[in-house]
């Protein structure tokens, strides 16, 4: 299949481009589009054949559920029952925006969209292109991140093109996304609301609205991912993994730098090339290896925005290993470390 690549104004999307993309969605075909979090791969959420095309294009396991995107709060009632008071409170406070809620699904939502579950994940994105596409198509749009399964989520159209060219009908290129990490997911289908995936809307922010929320455990408490049952089906799969094995190095900054420098020297002696993922503050302390800063430690949003791009840049080089510094786990830092731990397959080395 030939994939049409079309640029689109991310602030005031051109109506004719949206119309053409919406035709594909109405036809049951796939369109990749920018959202405020990462690029999504969209299809009509209420048509099983359309959803199934997403799984085929991404190589995504069929029991890994999709998020359904809506463009008005009332659409909650089309696909969820009941719609609890908590959902409306959160919608009023955080929608449109990077928050996904899990609710009990209505009959009309096919199991192909929910990975076989009786619940459905729902988000109202704020990106004008996403909103216009949903509105113009008249559909609700199932859209996971527009990457090949197991690769870092795409933060620009170029990443989507790399992964999915020839497998989908159209890519809308609205430039780089704003946030760069996937939405926060909160499960409201259970007695006690629980954060299943941390993101820009933090557990603290959710608590301000709901009072009680079971927050994602900070990475230090959770140990290896395999050691406990996945809370959400999709979580048992490795995500965001760069090609070269990645290890996070933990400890005081000085010790971390020393350890990574020693590792770099050892790899060099063996004739191997490594990548080093660090911050603006520490980048000057390394010599050997491909050194990449993901931003200043003082600017969490910048780090979140750059993480996936840098992981993909490492993938373009033939590296034998990647070593990374660790980052704060307060606020958005929790989401950043959650993704980094997944990318590293939970490999942590204590600096000495
Ligand atoms: P992605 O759109 O690729 O960022 O992934 C969507 C993720 O949302 C899945 O991998 C699941 O972890 C989660 N998810 C979607 N639907 C449900 C659901 N009904 N119950 C629990 N988790 C869900
Ligand atoms: Mg994804």
Quick: pLDDT tens for 26-41: 999 999 999 999 999 9
**Mean pLDDT of all residues in 284-290:** 96
Distance 182 CA to ligand 2 centre (A): 8
The residue whose CA has the least distance to atom 5 of ligand 1 is 144
List the structure tokens of 313: 């840049």
- C-alpha span between 209 and 227 (Å, rounded): 32
Distance 144 CA to ligand 2 centre (A): 5
The residue whose CA has the least distance to atom 14 of ligand 1 is 65
Q: Where are the domains of the chain?
A: 4-210, 246-350
The pLDDT value recorded for residue 6 is: 98
List the structure tokens of 156: 């620009």
Distance 239 CA to ligand 2 centre (A): 7
Distance 120 CA to ligand 1 centre (A): 9
DSSP 227: G
Of 232, 235, 238, 240, which is best to mutate to test ligand 1, by the most ligand atoms within 8 angstroms of its C-beta?
232
Q: What is the chain's length? A: 352
The pLDDT value recorded for residue 25 is: 98
What DSSP letter does each residue of 88-116 carry, written as one string?
HHHHHHH-SSSEEEEEEBPTTS-TTTTTT
Q: Which residue has the tokens 């292109």?
A: 129
Q: How far apart are the first and last CA of the chain?
A: 53
Which residues, 6 or more positions from 22, have their beta carbon under 8 angstroms from its beta carbon?
A: 133, 136, 137, 138
Closest ligand 1 atom to 121 CA: 16
CATH 3.40.50.11030 fits 246-350, yes or no: yes
DSSP 226: G
**Mean pLDDT of all residues in 143-158:** 95
Secondary-structure class of domain 4-210 per CATH: alpha beta
Q: Do domains 4-210 and 246-350 have the same CATH topology?
A: no
Q: Which residue has the tokens 């993309």?
A: 21
The pLDDT value recorded for residue 330 is: 85
**Mean pLDDT of all residues in 12-16:** 98
| Ligand number nearest to the C-alpha of 143 | 1
Of 81, 111, 121, which is best to mutate to test ligand 1, by the most ligand atoms within 8 angstroms of its C-beta?
121
Closest ligand 1 atom to 60 CA: 3
The residue whose CA has the least distance to atom 1 of ligand 1 is 144
Q: Which residue has the tokens 């490795």?
A: 238
CB 350 within 8 A of CB 251: yes
- C-alpha span between 123 and 95 (Å, rounded): 8
Distance 271 CA to ligand 2 centre (A): 35
pLDDT surpasses 90 at 219: no
Please tell me the pTM assigned to this model. Answer: 0.94
- C-alpha span between 35 and 16 (Å, rounded): 19
pLDDT surpasses 70 at 168: yes
- C-alpha span between 159 and 202 (Å, rounded): 27
pLDDT surpasses 50 at 69: yes
**Mean pLDDT of all residues in 246-259:** 97
């Amino acid at each position: 299949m030939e994939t049409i690549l079309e640029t689109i104004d991310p602030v005031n999307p051109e109506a004719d481009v949206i119309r053409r993309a919406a035709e594909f969605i109405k036809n049951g075909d796939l369109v990749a589009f920018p959202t405020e979090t990462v690029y999504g791969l969209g299809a009509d959420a209420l048509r099983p054949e359309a959803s199934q095309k997403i799984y085929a294009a991404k190589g995504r396991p069929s029991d890994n559920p999709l998020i359904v995107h809506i463009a008005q709060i009332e659409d909650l009632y089309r696909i969820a029952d009941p719609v609890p008071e908590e959902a409306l409170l959160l919608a009023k406070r955080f929608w449109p925006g990077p928050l996904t809620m899990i609710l009990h699904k209505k009959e009309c939502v096919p199991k192909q969209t929910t990975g076989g579950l009786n619940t459905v994940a729902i988000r109202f994105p704020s990106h004008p292109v996403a909103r216009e596409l949903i509105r113009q198509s008249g559909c609700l749009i199932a859209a996971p991140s527009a990457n090949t399964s197991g690769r870092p989520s795409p933060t620009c159209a170029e990443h989507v093109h790399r992964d999915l060219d020839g497998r989908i009908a159209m890519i809308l290129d609205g430039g780089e996304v704003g946030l760069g990490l996937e939405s926060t997911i909160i499960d409201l289908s259970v007695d006690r609301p629980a954060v299943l995936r941390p993101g820009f809307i933090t557990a603290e922010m959710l608590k301000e609205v709901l009072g009680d929320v079971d927050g994602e455990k900070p990475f230090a408490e959770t140990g290896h991912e395999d050691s406990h049952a996945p809370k959400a089906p999709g979580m048992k799969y490795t995500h965001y993994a760069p090609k070269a094995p990645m290890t996070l190095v933990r400890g005081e900054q000085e010790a971390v730098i020393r350890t990574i420098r020693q590792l770099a020297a050892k790899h060099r002696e063996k004739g191997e090339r490594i990548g080093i993922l660090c911050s603006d503050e520490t980048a000057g302390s390394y010599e050997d290896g491909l050194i990449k800063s993901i931003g200043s430690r003082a600017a969490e949003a910048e780090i979140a925005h750059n993480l996936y791009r840098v992981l993909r840049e490492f993938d373009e080089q033939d590296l034998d290993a990647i070593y990374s510094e660790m980052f704060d786990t307060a606020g958005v830092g929790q989401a950043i470390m959650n993704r980094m731990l997944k990318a590293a397959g939970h490999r942590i080395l204590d600096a000495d």
